[in-house]
Amino acid sequence: MTYRAPVKDMLFVMKELANIDAVARLPGFEDAGYDTAQAVLEECAKLNENVVEPLNRVGDTNPTSFNAGVVTATPGFKDAFKQYTEGGWQGLHHPADFGGQGLPKLIHAACQEMVNSAGLSFALCPLLTDGAIEALLTAGSDEQKMAYIPKMIDGTWTGTMNLTEPQAGSDLAAVRTKAEPQPDGSYKVFGTKIFITWGEHDMAENLVHLVLARVVGAPEGVKGISLFIVPKFLVKADGSLGVRNDVHCVSIEHKMGIKASPTAVLQYGDNGGAIGYLVGQENRGLEYMFVMMNAARFGVGVQGIAVAEAAYQRAVQYARDRIQSRPVDGSLPGPGAIIQHPDVRRMLMTMRAYVEGCRAMALVAAAAYDASHHHPDAEVRKQNQTFYEFLVPLIKGYSTEMSLEVTSLGVQVHGGMGYIEETGAAQLYRDAKILTIYEGTTAIQANDLVGRKTSRDGGTSAKAIAAQIEATENALAARFSQEAKAFAKRLTAARLAFLDVVDFVAGHTRASPNAVFAGSVPYLMLAGNVMAGWQMGRALLAAEDRLAAGEDVAFMQAKITTARFYGDHILTKVGGLRDSIVEGAAGVTDMALEAF
């Protein structure tokens, strides 16, 4: 397969839905308008199509290796990473003060999608480094920022996040790694961390581990967790590398997918203690790590979109080439390409509509993030922050669950050949499974949506978004086209179902938590479906306008058709989800535990 970055669709979303012209009016982004985005995306596409994507299959068949504590990346990865960082891609949206390019998250998110479509295992290294940079920008001292961030941006060093321990998976209250204060202000860190993505490798000179640990005597639970920088090699005052720190990789995991991304078990303090440096204040580590976590959660959602895009492209290519069976309408005298069969077209349209809807949702959210950080009006910043934060669990949860359905359909389109590793469809399916798990499972995203994003404010934020959706419905209903009117009908039904669920969640979380949380993941899937569907409705409006102006007729017609499919075949699932959430809790909770 030859991956081709969907630059045209990304630029359409940026211009028509995410309003890149408004982003370019934000202070600091004056040079980051549509023309800049187009130039950056086209250059990014070249690197990922020509350098990263050819290594994706190689990484699956010749994964990262471990030998006596030494982790060696897949052949070709080190050179590709060098080209990636030398091209400035690691610092694309990070501040120019530290060597970055200071571009909007909107542009960075599109570039993130490309590198993840080209090679998910490869892309995880820069993703975790981005998170480490974000955490230090938020909570690091000026000295820490200057010592570590420029080196991570230029690719000399990479970053990791160390949360999980053998006894503490998602429950970080159970973290036991300890930190002992030293007279010089440093700490000695002792403990074991597992599932550390790119926790050891040979692609960079140093690794900057951000580690959650408890200072001796700290309170129990999440309130007693602090965040530490624990570099693989200690850093001298002049910025050069010193001695090896007491942190070692004792093994890497053998995984179902993302095999070229080393998932390390790291041991801290076996030989006297690993030297660590406190980030921010003691006992506020979880707060700082959530900055890193939120950046990573958005990034993982983009990974879901990326893998789904790759699966869609591969399936379309196969469906065009595979000759099998005579079309049911008799349009050919003999067998034809399977893309002519209605059910294959249904599968391809499902894949396409999901990807385009989720891409639009993610890029619109990225633009809101940019406004929340850069808009001069405090109230506008606050509104955009609330909108962005509501969407993050949906982007992470819905887009990654979507990627499982799409990559599974990709295997199905290939038929028996999809189950054969050589076609590459199976790798995408295997790789996608981790996305619903790491950086917080789908249930954890749903808990966030229920608790922090809906119940806490009584559904106010959700209802404010619903009001915006209603405005889109009205615009669609006012059009003369059959497609717009049909979509308006679907979107109205979906919005009303969404509001029913919001009222149920806001009204019952405190009094009947089991009833609400029994439907928390269905609520996430419903909300994600509605938000992506809303963007497809907006895309339909924009495409009709541009079609009327005679612009890019084939693309605009395809966008309208894809939106119509989303409305008729995906948005229509919302009603059933609404019923299962509002009326179906007993079926989840009433079974006696001993009966399972």
Catalytic residues: 439
Residue 525 C-beta-side C-alpha neighbours within 13 Å: 22
Residue with tokens 């007729």: 553
Nearest to 208 by CA among 302, 303, 276, 270: 276
Rounded to 5 degrees, what angle do the CA atoms 13, 407, 37 make? Answer: 25
Three-state DSSP at 186 gives: coil
Strands 157-162 and 206-215, bridge-based pairing: parallel
Gap between the Cα atoms of 64 and 160, Å rounded: 17
Gap between the Cα atoms of 13 and 199, Å rounded: 35
Single-letter amino acid code for the residue at 468: Q
**Burial code of 319-352, b = ≥16 C-beta within 10 A, e = fewer?**
beebeeeeeeeeeeeeebbbbbbeebeebbbbbb
Residue 464 C-beta-side C-alpha neighbours within 13 Å: 14
DSSP 8-state symbol, 203: S
Contact by Cβ (8 Å): 149, 98: yes
Gap between the Cα atoms of 535 and 544, Å rounded: 14
10 Å CB burial of residue 401 (0-12, 13-18, 19+) is: buried
Gap between the Cα atoms of 509 and 168, Å rounded: 26
Token pair belonging to 245: 């720190």
The answer for residues whose C-beta is within 8 angstroms of residue 74's C-beta and 6 or more apart is: 55, 58, 59, 62, 63, 64, 121, 260
Token pair belonging to 16: 């028509």
CA distances 324 to 332, 342, 461, Å, are 12, 13, 51
The answer for residues whose C-beta is within 8 angstroms of residue 437's C-beta and 6 or more apart is: none
Gap between the Cα atoms of 185 and 558, Å rounded: 61
Gap between the Cα atoms of 441 and 300, Å rounded: 11
Residue with tokens 């006894």: 167
The answer for residues whose C-beta is within 8 angstroms of residue 513's C-beta and 6 or more apart is: none
Three-state DSSP at 138 gives: helix
Token pair belonging to 272: 């006297």
Single-letter amino acid code for the residue at 260: A
Gap between the Cα atoms of 406 and 347, Å rounded: 9
10 Å CB burial of residue 549 (0-12, 13-18, 19+) is: exposed
Residue with tokens 């749903």: 446
Residue with tokens 């894949």: 351
